[in-house]
Structure formats: structure tokens, C-alpha cells
Amino acid sequence: MTLGELFTKLRRLGWRNGLGLIGYHLLPLRYSTPCKAWNVVRVKIQRWLRTEHVWGMPYRYYLDPINICNLHCPLCPTGLGILGRPRGYFDLTAFRRIVDEIAPYAYTVELYNWGEPFLHPDIVEMIRYAHSRRIAVRLSSNMNRFSPELAQAVVEAGLDRLIVSLDGSTQETYVRYRRGGDLARVCENVRLLVEAKRRAHSKTPFILVRMLVMRHNEQEIEAVRALANDLGADAFSVAPIFVDTTDANQVAEWLPIERALSAYESTSAPTNRWACAELWEAMTINWDGGLSPCCWVHQKSTDLGNAFEQPLREAWNSPAYVSARRAFARGGPKPPLIETVCNRCQGHPLYLKE
């Protein structure tokens, strides 16, 4: 992004909101060390070169605490009951061991993926432990399950960033996608957290209200932005919805009419490839230890290894990970050592727009 493009984006978002989002993304730097910084340099160079083996470690981690949710969103594998992995939650002892293993390299831990994090009985202790190991902790929630006690505990535990999923300014619009949710309850729970921050004189967690833009709510962006501001959120952003582009019904029902709000240049499935960042920079660990190639892949059958059965450094350059990286080799895909889901990847539409 050029400097001119940055200023254009800041004007579009609003200067206060735009600068807040910049701070949101820079927040993990407070946990930097020379070791972590050098690791990032090595990894970035190797991603640019698209090496099969990576002689650094990931610096972004998804540790999915639970793959159970209290809502039934119609485009989510969890909500549809097609996740392809047994339901469960991360054992706290195993979680601490994993955090100890990644602490020398990790800038961020994303404590969410395929479930509602606040349903995990030990989520506060998980936040506290990762924070104690000098890792920025980010969590995304539908905020339908919360309490004053939990609000205070989350602030005291050191949560750095919270994404609140809020996709409508009225209950009718909101529940169209967040099925089983209650907009009034979400708003009240966000206010509880804002008040807990105020009482503790804490700037964290940074609260970002994020709106998935879909056909039925694309006219409510400004209304949701105003609602986020009224709730006391630190920033507001929009995100595109992802659909099966081969399903005409999904496209017609969910993709916004305004193309600028869509993740897709067209309704055709993307076919070109890019240097996938996840296979060099990030690691996704499910509650059962399964290592998914990225946070978009959810089936247990596609795991590249298991964090409970081998050291992460060993798994990182295993035949499975090497084969996955071969799919994005310079000059075109190379034959894999073993077949992985990455060899069939059609690409992430957001990357294809860059």
C-alpha cells in the first residue's frame, strides 16, 4: 500500500477510526524482542523465496480453544454441523505447554477460530497465561454469552484485542445471519466490557466492532458504525462474506450487490495462485492438537500433523508441510512428497485482489 492509498483509506474510514485501526495492528509490537524480530526477518525472506523448508518459526498462531458455538450462522461449518472434526475444547495443561513452546517466537495468539471462545471454561486463564508469556492475545466473539464478572476478569487477565461480530443495527437484520443471537444482549455485553475497562483505567482490550457485509445488510454500514461508536468501541471495520461461488443460491442470497463490498471480482471461483502467507508465517492448532494448514481449513482429515504428538519445530518442516509449500513454489507447483489439501487450494479471494 502506497502512502497516498493509506491516506485515502484513512479518509474513508474516518481519521479517528482509521488511526485506531493502525494502532490495533501495531499493538503486538509492544511484545517484541530481538529474538522475535530476527525470526520475523528470516521467515519473511523465506516466504519471498518460497523455500520448502523454513528455518524460522511461525510468529502468528491460531490456538482454537473450542469448536462449539451458541449460534447457528448459515455459512459457517460449525453452525451447519459440517466441521469434520469432533467437538471439544483445548485442555488447559496442553495449552500451557504449547504456549511455552511458541513463546520465544510468537507475536500474537488468536484465541478463536471455529467456536465461541467464551464458552470455554478456562478461557480467562488461557488469556492470562499467554499474556504472562509476553504474547499479544486476540479473541473474536459473538458476545451473546458474557457477564459483569467475566468482563472484569478479561480486562485483568490482559486480553489485548477483542473483535465483536455485529452485523446489523436492528434485531431483524442481525439475526438473519447470527441465528440464535440477541442484538440487545450483545450491545449490553459490549457496554459491560467498556465499563470494566473504565473502572480499571485500562486501554485494553482494544474493542473492534466488525461487520460482515452481506446483501441484506449492506445498506446498514453507517448505522452499525454509529452503533459501535455509541457502545464505546475503539474502532469499527467491515469484512466481506465468503460463499461457495459455484452455488448460485448462495451468491444470490448473501453476496452484496455493490461489488466494492465483495471479496470476489466475479462469481467465478478463483484459479490463480499466490505465495500463501500461512504456510510460512502462521500455524493453526485445533483443540485436539491437529495442525491445519491455515485457519480456513477445518476438516480433521486435512491436518498436516498433531501438536500433541511431535514438537512444533519438527512438524513445521515435516513432509506434509514441505508438500504444502511446494504447491506455491516459484515457477509453478512442484510435485508434493505427499498429497495435501494445499495442492488443491484455489486461493483466498482477498489475496487475489491484491
Give percent of the chain with pLDDT exceeding 70. Answer: 87
pLDDT of residue 121: 97
Phi/psi at 89 (5° precision): -140, 155
| 319 CA to centre of own chain | 26
Give one word for 73, left, alpha or beta, with left for phi > 0 and alpha for psi -120 to 50: beta
> For residue 28, is pLDDT > 80?
no
pLDDT of residue 23: 57
Does residue 311 contact residue 266 with C-beta atoms inside 8 Å? Answer: no
Distance in angstroms (rounded) separating the CA atoms of residues 328 and 186: 41
The single-letter DSSP state of residue 317 is: T
> For residue 352, is pLDDT > 80?
no
For residues 123-139, give the mean pLDDT: 97
Q: What is the CATH number of domain 13-352?
A: 3.20.20.70
> For residue 343, is pLDDT > 90?
no
The single-letter DSSP state of residue 270 is: P
For residues 272-277, give the mean pLDDT: 64
Q: Which residue has the cell 492448532?
A: 285
> For residue 186, is pLDDT > 50?
yes
pLDDT of residue 245: 79
> For residue 45, is pLDDT > 50?
yes
pLDDT of residue 276: 82
- Count other Cβ atoms within 10 Å, centred on residue 49: 11
> For residue 271, is pLDDT > 50?
no
pLDDT of residue 254: 87
Lowest-confidence range among 54-58, 136-140, 234-238, 250-254? 250-254
11: pLDDT confidence band, cut at 50, 70 and 90?
low
> 354 or 291: which carries more pLDDT confidence?
291
Does residue 264 contact residue 255 with C-beta atoms inside 8 Å? Answer: yes
Helix runs in 300-344, H state only: 312-316, 319-326
> For residue 18, is pLDDT > 90?
no
> 198 or 352: which carries more pLDDT confidence?
198
Tell me the sheet residues that pair with 290: 306
The 3 state secondary structure assigned to 296-344 is CCCCHHHCCCECCCCCHHHHHCCHHHHHHHHCCCCCCCCCCCCCCHHHH
Distance in angstroms (rounded) separating the CA atoms of residues 199 and 176: 35
pLDDT of residue 20: 55
Residues 6+ apart with CB under 8 A from 144: 70, 71, 116, 178, 180, 181, 182, 185, 186, 189
Instruction: Name the strand (E) or helix (H) holding 242.
Output: none
Phi/psi at 2 (5° precision): -80, 165
Does residue 193 contact residue 155 with C-beta atoms inside 8 Å? Answer: yes
Domain boundaries, the chain: 13-352
Distance in angstroms (rounded) separating the CA atoms of residues 4 and 13: 14
Among 346, 301, 305, CA closest to 322: 305
Question: Three-state SS for 94?
Answer: helix
The single-letter DSSP state of residue 165 is: E
275: pLDDT confidence band, cut at 50, 70 and 90?
low
Distance in angstroms (rounded) separating the CA atoms of residues 326 and 43: 16
For residues 237-260, give the mean pLDDT: 86
For residues 325-342, give the mean pLDDT: 86
Residues 6+ apart with CB under 8 A from 212: 165, 167, 177, 238, 239, 240, 241
> For residue 1, is pLDDT > 60?
no
Lowest-confidence range among 210-214, 310-314, 344-348? 344-348
- Count other Cβ atoms within 10 Å, centred on residue 80: 11
Q: pTM for the full model?
A: 0.88
Cα atoms found within 13 Å of the Cα of residue 53, Cβ hemisphere only: 6
Average model confidence (pLDDT) for the chain?
89
